[in-house]
A and B are shown apart, each in its own frame.
Chain A
Amino acid sequence: MTVIRAFVSRSAPLMACLGLLAIWQVAALMLKTDSFPGAWEAIKAIPSILGDQESLINILASIRRMAIGFSVAVLVSIPLGLMMGRSRAVASFFNPLLMITYPVPKAALMPIILLWLGVGDIAKMLVIFLGVSLPVIYHSFQGAKAIEEKMLWSGAAMGLSAAQRMIRIVLPAALPEILTGCRTGLVLALITMVTSEMIARQSGAGNILFNALDMGQYDTVYAMIIIIGAMGIGLDAAFERLRARLVRWSEPGFEIPLSFA
C-alpha cells in the first residue's frame, strides 16, 4: 500500500507531463492545421536544434545573460530589501520608487532601454535585472520586517554590532522568505529573458523561436517552447532543492516533488 502510494506520488509530476503531451497530440490530430503540429513532431525537432552549433550558442548566450542578470539582481536586492525591512527611513525612501516600477511590465521599458543602451547584452540583462529585483526586494523586505525583535536583542546582548546583527541574524532569519522571492525571481528571469529577445532580436533562445515563427517552421517553434519550458522546470526544481537544503530548519515535515507552491 505505502509502496504504491510512494510510487504514485513520486511519479505524479511525470504523469502530469505525459498527460499534457497526450492531450496536445490528440488536439493536434483533430485540428489538423499547419500552425499546430503534434507533440511528437515538436519533440522530434528538439535533437536537431540542440545538435546545431549555432542554436546551441544562441541558447547558451541566453542562459548567460539570464545568469548574470539574476545574480546581480539578487546581490543588490537582498541587502536593499533587508535594510528596508529594518529601517523606516530606508523603506520610506525606496517604497514609492518600487510602487511606481512594480506594475510596469518590464518588457514595456524595453524600447526605452534599447534606445539608451542599444540591442546588445547590457540592455537585455538590465531588463532581466529589473524583472528579478522586485520580487526579491519585496520578499527580503517582508522577511526582515517580520523578525522577532527579541532575537535581535539577544544578539545585541551578546555584543553583536548593528552590522553584525544584519548579517548574522536578520539575513539567516529572513532566509526562507528571501529564497521564496528568489524562486519567483528565477522564473521571472526566464520570462523576461525570452521577452527581451523577442523585442531585441539578435541572438538567444527567444530569437530562434521568433525567427522560426516568421519562417513558418512550426515544429521548431513548438520544440523551442518545450526546450524553454524544460529549462524553466529544471531550474525551478534545482533551485527548490537548494532552497529546501538551506532552510531545512524552518520547513514543515513533508515534501512535494516539483511543487509550484
Chain B
Amino acid sequence: MKLMPSRPNVEAKAAPARQTGAAMITIDRVSQVFRTSGRREHLAISDISLTIEDGAFVSILGPSGCGKSTLLYIVGGFVSPTEGVARVKGKAIRGPGPDRGPVFQEFALFPWKSVLGNVMYGPRQQGVKSGEAEAQSRALIEKVGLKGFEHFYPKELSGGMKQRVALARTLAYHPAVLLMDEPFGALDAHTRTRLQNDLLKIWERDRKTVLFVTHSVEEAVFLSDRVVVMTRAPGRIKQIVEIDLPRPRRRSELLLDPRYQKYVVDIEGMIDDTSEDELRP
C-alpha cells in the first residue's frame, strides 16, 4: 500500500479518463468576457477546459473573483460563454434545465413561499402530486435540520438556514447534476460538517454528478474525486488534483490519514503560489 499520493497531475487540459463513467459535462475552451458598466471589457475566465464524468464529484477552488461562479453559471445554462462550448451528455448547453440543479451563493429563495413551499416548488413543477411532494419535501427539510421551520418565510430565517433551504430546494427535484456555489459557506462549523456528511451520503447513494465551488481546501479534499485549482482573475485552471482516497469516506478516519493531510497541504501550497504570482509585476 502506498501511503503518499503520487505528485498531483499538473496538466490541466489532459485530465486522465476516470473509471466512473462517460463524460457528463464537457467544458471546451470556454472564455467569458463581461462588459462592465464603465463600458470596459472584463475577462472573467479564460480558456477553461474540463471534463466531468457521470457520477464524479469535482470541486473548484480559487481566490475570490476568479470566475468560479461564472463557470457554474455557464454549465447551468444561465450565461452563454463568449467563446467555447459547454456540453452536457454531449449536447451543447442552450439554457437551464431540470437535469442541472443550481444552489446559488445568494440562495435566491422565493420570499413569498414558506420553507415547505420553496422545497416543494420543484417537485410540483415536475408534476409530482401535492401530497407526495409534501411528504418528500418534509423529509428533506428534516434532513437539512430545519424540522419545525416548515412554515417560516425566508425573511424569518438566518443566513445558514436559508442556505440549507436552498440546498433542500434543489435536491428536491433530483437533478442529475448538482451545481453548488459555496453551499456551506454561511454555516457554522458543526452544521457544515453534518451537511458535508449528509451530502456525501446522498452522493454515494445516488451517484449524482457534482460541481462544487468552495473556499475550503479541507472540504474540497474531503468531498471530491478531483479538485480544480484556479488562478486569480482572469480565471484559468492552474492545476487539477485527483483525490485518490478510498470511499466511503469517514471524516474521523480521514482527518488522521496522512494522504488526506498531504493533499490539503499540497493544495494550500498551490493557492499560495497563485497569490505570489499575482504579486509579481
Q: Are B108 and A150 in contact (CB under 8 A)?
A: yes
Q: Which residues of A contact B122 (CB under 8 A)?
A: 158
A9 to B204, CA, bound (A): 59
Q: Which of A96-104, A167-175, A231-239 contacts B (4 or more CB under 8 A)?
A: A167-175
A151 to B102, CA, bound (A): 11
A7 lies within 8 A of chain B by Cβ: no
Majority DSSP secondary structure for residues of A touching B: helix
A249-B108 contact, Cβ under 8 Å, with A154-B102, A156-B95, A156-B96: no
Q: Are A157 and B98 in contact (CB under 8 A)?
A: yes
Q: Which residues of A contact B106 (CB under 8 A)?
A: 148, 150
A157-B100 contact, Cβ under 8 Å, with A148-B108, A250-B112: yes
Known contacts A151-B108, A156-B77; 11 additional CB pairs below 8 A are A153-B96, A154-B102, A154-B104, A154-B169, A157-B96, A157-B102, A157-B175, A158-B173, A173-B111, A173-B112, A249-B154
Q: Which residues of A contact B6 (CB under 8 A)?
A: none
Interface residues on B, range: 20 to 34
User: Per a CB cutoff under 8 Å, which of B121, B155, B173 touches A250?
Assistant: B155
A46 CB, nearest partner CB in chain B, Å: 42
A158 to B155, CA, bound (A): 22
B34 lies within 8 A of chain A by Cβ: no
Q: Which residues of B contact A159 (CB under 8 A)?
A: 97-98, 125-126
14 residue pairs of the A-B complex, CB under 8 angstroms, read: A153-B78, A153-B102, A154-B110, A154-B169, A157-B76, A157-B98, A157-B170, A159-B126, A160-B125, A169-B110, A249-B153, A249-B154, A249-B155, A250-B155
- Residue ID in chain B nearest A157 by CB atoms: B96
Binary flags per residue of B138-176, CB closer than 8 Å to A gives 1, else 0:
000000000000000111000000000000011001010
Q: Which residues of B contact A160 (CB under 8 A)?
A: 125
Q: Which of A135-161 contact B (CB under 8 A)?
A: 148, 150-151, 153-154, 156-160
B21 CB, nearest partner CB in chain A, Å: 23
A153 to B72, CA, bound (A): 12
Q: Which residues of B contact A154 (CB under 8 A)?
A: 102, 104, 108, 110, 169
A169 CB, nearest partner CB in chain B, Å: 7
Interface size on A, residues (CB 8 A): 18
Q: Which of A208-261 contact B (CB under 8 A)?
A: 247-250
Chain A residues in contact with chain B, CB under 8 A? 148, 150-151, 153-154, 156-160, 169, 172-173, 175, 247-250
- Residue ID in chain B nearest A247 by CB atoms: B112
Q: Which residues of B contact A151 (CB under 8 A)?
A: 108-110
Tell which of A156, A169, A173, A247 has the most Cβ of chain B within 10 Å: A156
Q: Are B125 and A158 in contact (CB under 8 A)?
A: yes
A59 CB, nearest partner CB in chain B, Å: 37
Q: Which residues of B contact A158 (CB under 8 A)?
A: 98, 121-122, 125-126, 173
B101 lies within 8 A of chain A by Cβ: yes
A21 to B170, CA, bound (A): 59
A172 to B175, CA, bound (A): 25
Q: Which residues of A contact B102 (CB under 8 A)?
A: 153-154, 157
A150-B104 contact, Cβ under 8 Å, with A156-B95, A157-B98, A158-B125: yes
A173 to B169, CA, bound (A): 18
B96 CB, nearest partner CB in chain A, Å: 4
A225 to B281, CA, bound (A): 76
Q: Are A172 and B125 in contact (CB under 8 A)?
A: no
Q: Are A250 and B78 in contact (CB under 8 A)?
A: no
Q: Are A172 and B98 in contact (CB under 8 A)?
A: no
Q: Closest 6 A-B residue pairs measured CB to CB?
A: A150-B108, A156-B96, A249-B153, A172-B112, A158-B122, A157-B96
- Residue ID in chain A nearest B107 by CB atoms: A150
A103 CB, nearest partner CB in chain B, Å: 29
A73 CB, nearest partner CB in chain B, Å: 24
A129 CB, nearest partner CB in chain B, Å: 29
A242 CB, nearest partner CB in chain B, Å: 16
A172 to B118, CA, bound (A): 13
B127 CB, nearest partner CB in chain A, Å: 10
- Residue ID in chain A nearest B121 by CB atoms: A158
A172 to B113, CA, bound (A): 9
A249 to B76, CA, bound (A): 29
Q: Which residues of B contact A169 (CB under 8 A)?
A: 110
Tell which of A153, A169, A175 has the most Cβ of chain B within 10 Å: A153
A160 to B125, CA, bound (A): 7
Q: Are A250 and B111 in contact (CB under 8 A)?
A: yes
- Residue ID in chain A nearest B105 by CB atoms: A150
Tell which of A150, A151, A154, A172 has the most Cβ of chain B within 10 Å: A154
B32 CB, nearest partner CB in chain A, Å: 16
User: Per a CB cutoff under 8 Å, which of B101, B104, B110, B154 touches A172?
Assistant: B110
